[in-house]
Amino acid sequence: MTISVGDRIPSTMITKVTANGPDQVSSDEYFKGRKVALVAVPGAFTPTCSARHLPGFVDKADELKAKGVDEIAFTSVNDAFVMGAWSKSADADAITMLADGNGDFAEAIGMTFDGSKFGMGKRSQRYSMLVEDGVVTQLNVEKPGEFSVSSAEHLLSEI
């Protein structure tokens, strides 16, 4: 089942990238009591993700926080070390990286796709969502190959 507006984020483990290394956290605890802008991309260092998606949220981080967003997080079916290197290469200190190495989170919310024909295996669809105290209040899922409704500008326009 694909997650929808009004649904609670399912309970699963995610890996938060920290300065001290990977930190396993439960999604229940991570989203509890806060407003999080969660953005998913098919892969760190991939063209659209690196050239447009992440930079847009880095540029708009202050505006999102001014609208009440407590944290901006990016997730991808990559390991914590790749996500950490991507953050560092993009000067994305304002963004929390959540590694979904096995795709468990993407699977739990019904947002996977098969990227095998591109040599990528199971991946997350591209989307942005606003999660308030564990409940999805905005959800913007891209059509395959597109980049518009999951952008920082679009999410800002909906808050």
In a domain, residue 4? The reply is no
Beta-carbon count within 10 A of 119 CB: 6
Binned average pLDDT, 10 residues per bin, the chain of 159 residues: 93 94 95 97 81 88 97 95 93 95 94 76 88 97 88 93
Asked whether residue 53 is assigned to any structural domain, the reply reads yes
Domain assignment present for residue 3? The answer is no
Exposed/middle/buried for 76, CB within 10 Å: 0-12, 13-18, 19+? buried
Domain presence at residue 131: yes
Query: What is the predicted pLDDT for the residue at 43?
Result: 84
pLDDT at 48: 76
Q: Which residues are catalytic?
A: 49
Could you tell me if residue 88 is inside a domain? yes
Give the pTM. 0.93
The CATH number covering residue 32 comes to: 3.40.30.10
Residue 5 within a domain: no
The range of the structural domain enclosing residue 149 comes to 13-158
DSSP notation for 46-98: -HHIIIIIHHHHHHTHHHHHHTT--EEEEEESS-HHHHHHHHHHTT-TTSEEE
Question: Does a structural domain hold residue 7?
Answer: no
Structural domain count of the chain: 1
